[in-house]
Amino acid sequence: MALSLQQQKVNLTILALDYPFEQKSYCWNGIRVYAVGGANKKRFSRMLLLLRAWRLLISLINNHGVDIIHSFWLTYLQFWVSSFVKKYKLPHLQTIMGQDAMKNKFYRLFDFKYSTIVNLTQFANERFYSAISQQSDEIIPFGLGQVFEEVVDRDIDLINVGSVTGLKNQMFFLKLVYQIHQIKPNIKAVIIGKFYDMHLIKEMKQFIVEKDLESNISLLNELPRVEIFKFMRRSKVMAHTSAFESQGMVMLEAIAHGCKVYSSGKGIHFNHELYSLLTDDLKENVNSIVSYLIKKEYPYGEKLISIEQTANCYLELYKKLSKK
């Protein structure tokens, strides 16, 4: 999105709080980046982080001028940001990116009246409303940049992409594969995601062995995004089983690569032939997926939202807020 905004002649400066871990400044594709070097440290180190960031922002205001501050993720840092924009009378745009759409301990510290709040989807907005009884000001999903166009054989039946945690609910995916295996014994399924929860990984591997699915299911640790796209091009169906998503970019990516999405309903929704909702009835889900898997031909992918569209929406907000 930063590159898309840059193409629109927006003069961006990025203040990176935790990543990269070292404190440094550099130029990325012509955009100034100041890394404060927070490195996810706690307690006293956080106070030093905020002090460095405060001084850096003051320097940017004095030496370059700042029209608007746009921050991402609603965490304890935004209490500090809201104090800063209030003191220096700057417009502030706050994008809620993930589980920060749900009520957390930092909400009581945040003064929402000094910020324009953006959620990624209507689903996230509803969770945000249930947390503080306030709607976000805008809903702007993140779009896609590059996708692969080449046509390949779809030799994978089911795929699941996401960090292996209880939240992503890969055990439900395994149960779905097992039930489909009763109808389609040669089913080929793949799970791709960083192995965060090793206890869960052990439980999943045990399930695979007990159900005699070793030749049907592959567990792949974290892969580069480009490699994941290749797997999507090879897959017929993505079962997105997550218990919560603010958006679920992976569904957008799957559809762009022609992979049919069956979603738990958490995150972004589409009215499109390549998107369907999972139901509470496992048998109904299995029958629906199997009927799709046995098709002879599959639709081409479609980029439903581009990153340029996202950037244009934010650019309009920047213009609107900077005039206030």
Compare 316 and 146 and report the one with higher pLDDT: 316
DSSP for residue 165: S
Report residue 117: phi and psi, to 5°.
-100, 130
Are 11 and 117 contained in the same domain? yes
The pairing of beta strand 24-28 with beta strand 31-35: antiparallel
Count how many residues are written for the chain: 324
Question: CA-to-CA distance for 142 and 247, rounded, in angstroms?
Answer: 8
Question: CA-to-CA distance for 111 and 101, rounded, in angstroms?
Answer: 15
Inside any domain, residue 56: yes
Are 126 and 238 contained in the same domain? no
Inside any domain, residue 81: yes
Buried b or exposed e, range 138-171, using 16+ CB within 10 angstroms: bebbbbbeebeeeeeebebbbbbbbebbebbbbe
Question: CA-to-CA distance for 311 and 316, rounded, in angstroms?
Answer: 9
Compare 85 and 216 and report the one with higher pLDDT: 216
Between 170-183 and 282-293, two packed helices, what is the crossing angle to 10 degrees?
Answer: 60
Residue 107 confidence (pLDDT)? 75
Are 194 and 123 contained in the same domain? no
The count of domains in the chain is 2
Inside any domain, residue 300: no
Average pLDDT of every residue of the chain: 91
Residue 111 confidence (pLDDT)? 76
Inside any domain, residue 151: no
Residue that the structure tokens 């599959």 belong to: 298
Question: CA-to-CA distance for 116 and 235, rounded, in angstroms?
Answer: 39
Determine the 3-state secondary structure of 92 from DSSP: strand
Inside any domain, residue 103: yes
Residue among 242, 124, 257, 246 at smallest CA distance from 193: 242
- Check which CATH number belongs to the domain holding 232 and give it: 3.40.50.2000
Residue that the structure tokens 């976000």 belong to: 136
Residue 46 to residues 52, 116, 236, Cα–Cα distance (Å): 10, 25, 46
Q: What are 296-308's pLDDT values in tens digits?
A: 888 889 999 999 9
Residue 80 to residues 49, 53, 122, 184, 250, Cα–Cα distance (Å): 11, 10, 27, 55, 32
pLDDT above 90 (res 85): no
Are 139 and 196 contained in the same domain? no
Question: CA-to-CA distance for 241 and 101, rounded, in angstroms?
Answer: 19
Full domain range(s) for residue 205: 156-293
Are 81 and 28 contained in the same domain? yes
Between 249-256 and 225-234, two packed helices, what is the crossing angle to 10 degrees?
Answer: 50
Question: CA-to-CA distance for 300 and 320, rounded, in angstroms?
Answer: 38
Inside any domain, residue 148: no
Residue among 322, 90, 287 at smallest CA distance from 184: 287
Query: Rounded to 5 degrees, what angle do the CA atoms 120, 162, 282 make?
Result: 95
Inside any domain, residue 150: no
pTM of the model: 0.90
Are 122 and 219 contained in the same domain? no
Lowest mean pLDDT among 15-29, 215-229, 266-280: 15-29
Q: What are 170-229's pLDDT values in tens digits?
A: 999 999 999 999 999 999 999 999 999 999 999 999 999 999 999 999 999 999 999 999
Question: CA-to-CA distance for 59 and 95, rounded, in angstroms?
Answer: 24
Are 182 and 56 contained in the same domain? no
Distance from the first to the final alpha carbon of the chain: 24
Q: How confident is the model at residue 324 (pLDDT cuts 50, 70, 90)?
A: low
Q: What are 147-178's pLDDT values in tens digits?
A: 877 778 899 999 999 999 999 999 999 999 99
Report residue 52: phi and psi, to 5°.
-65, -45
Asked if residue 152 lies in contact with residue 184, where contact means CB atoms within 8 angstroms, the answer is no
Determine the 3-state secondary structure of 66 from DSSP: coil
